[in-house]
Structure 1
Amino acid sequence: MTHSTRSSHPRRRTTPRHPVSPRGLRTLRATWERQAAEAGGPGGFHHLHGPHTHGWLLADAVPELLEPIVHADDDPLEPTFFAHLDAPVAEALLARFAPAHLVHRSNGSPTLGNQLRATVAHPGEITLHGFVLGPGRCDERLVSEGALVRFEADLLVTEHHAPGCECELLWAYAVDELGLDDAEHAPHRIHRIHRAEAPDETWWRLLWA
């Protein structure tokens, strides 16, 4: 599917092709192509409000970019969750998504475009997680529910933000230094996490959910 706005969002660099999936395994592309075909058929499900079109996520190698980071669901109406969306994938998606596909937000979070740009600008310091509504739905889109950010500080962050909670320091860093600056409000939840692949680094989850 070609968007009339694509020319205003050119590619910034050539993105390497993603390795081909092993033979015999159902790829994300194959799953989404089947869902799009079924949705467009006579028995397809459509939301009350359109557009009743399916398949823009199949364009321009998007399934191949997302396949390594998603947990695909065969149910076309269920979300496909992703994690560890890092700077290279973020840059590739920015080069492929039309502006209209970058405005989605989750429960007051920064827009998808803002989060992708911040991730590109700070490689190794931000990764995103969220979900994709695939081509089996009329409202197909990619939504980032939150970010993991690296912030080397031993802060006191409490679950219910009791007196003395220092979450505002972390949120100010995310806005002012990392550029996550178009959210409607602060995250609903902030907590420290352990990353097995980076045991000596301090990471925090910012979640709008």
Structure 2
Amino acid sequence: MSLDTTPAPAPTGPGGPRSRETLEQCWRRLADGRPSWTAELLDVVEPYVLGRPAHPGDVARYRDLPWTAAAALLHRVPAGHLRDKQNAAPSLGSVLVAAVGHPREVEVHGYLVPPCRPDERIAAEGIVVYDHPELDEFRLLDEDGPCSETGCECRAFWSSVQASFGLEDAGAGPQVIAPRTCRRTGRTGWYLWWT
């Protein structure tokens, strides 16, 4: 049996084939003539962006950002913005450094805030850690109640991640720790998210 590798035809509508708006086109539409520092990063981030903001208040979410893109962002994001944090998460800079320093183990997820908003930025909401077998030894439970009663070892898990990847500037551990299987590669890992 052979697989047909012919690409599917573009969707058609009343006006003919539709093409997907690029992230650059979206940023220009939302910027409405305003200057944008994040526009300089779109070529790096676009392959990992899940959708396009429809309205000026929306954000563009990204996931599976690998070390190569993290390295490019470290060189191109203005230094002051590398210190930005999503609530108690580690800073954007420390998360990007973790991905670069551990290229097979760490990928980044987060969002872009468009230029029409006064808080325009790129934010890292968390990481996914792959191929780190010692993390599988921790007992993690998704139960209400204090860890001292349930036996959940999420604090020890976070301490191990924090020490392994240099995420000391986090204000607290992630609100979500969940197992994850990457859809692209099939690798298993742990999804950490600061809400």
Larger Rg: 2
Q: Is 1:195 the equivalent of 2:182? A: yes
Q: How does 1:68-147 map to 2 (within 5 A)?
A: 68-70=47-49, 71-147=51-127
Post-superposition shift, 1:128? 1.0
Match of 2:11 in 1: none
Residue 208 of structure 1: aligned partner: 194
Q: Secondary structure at the residue paired with 1:68?
A: helix
Please state if 1:36 is matched with 2:31. Answer: yes
Q: List per-residue Cα deviations over 1:1-38 (Å, max 9, x = no partner).
A: xxxxxxxxxxxxxxxxxxxxxx9542111110121125
Query: Normalization by structure 1: what TM-score?
Result: 0.75
Check whether the contact 1:159–1:189 (CA below 8 A) recurs between aligned residues: no
Aligned residues: 170
**How far is 1:170 from its partner?**
2.1
Return the match for 1:177 from 133, 150, 164: 164
Instruction: Compute the RMSD of aligned alpha carbons.
Output: 1.9
SS class of match (1:168): helix
Query: Cα deviation per residue 1:93-127 (whole Å; 9 max; x = unaligned)?
Result: 01001111111111200010110111110001111
Alpha-carbon displacement from aligned partner over 1:160-179 (angstroms, at most 9, x marks no partner): 44532122332122111111
For residues 65-117 of structure 1, the C-alpha deviation after alignment (integer angstroms, 9 at most, x for no partner) is 11111122121210111111110000000100111111111120001011011
Q: What code does the residue aligned with 2:179 have?
A: R
Paired AA for residue 120 in structure 1: V
Question: 1:197 & 1:64 partners in 2: Cα distance?
Answer: 20
Q: What is the letter of the counterpart of residue 138 of structure 2?
A: L
CA distance in 1, matches of 2:178, 2:26: 35
Alpha-carbon distance change, 196 to 34 in structure 1, aligned in 2, over 3 angstroms:
closer
> What secondary structure, in the 3-state scheme, does the structure 1 residue paired with 2:165 have?
coil
Mapped partners of 2:81, 2:142: distance in 1: 33
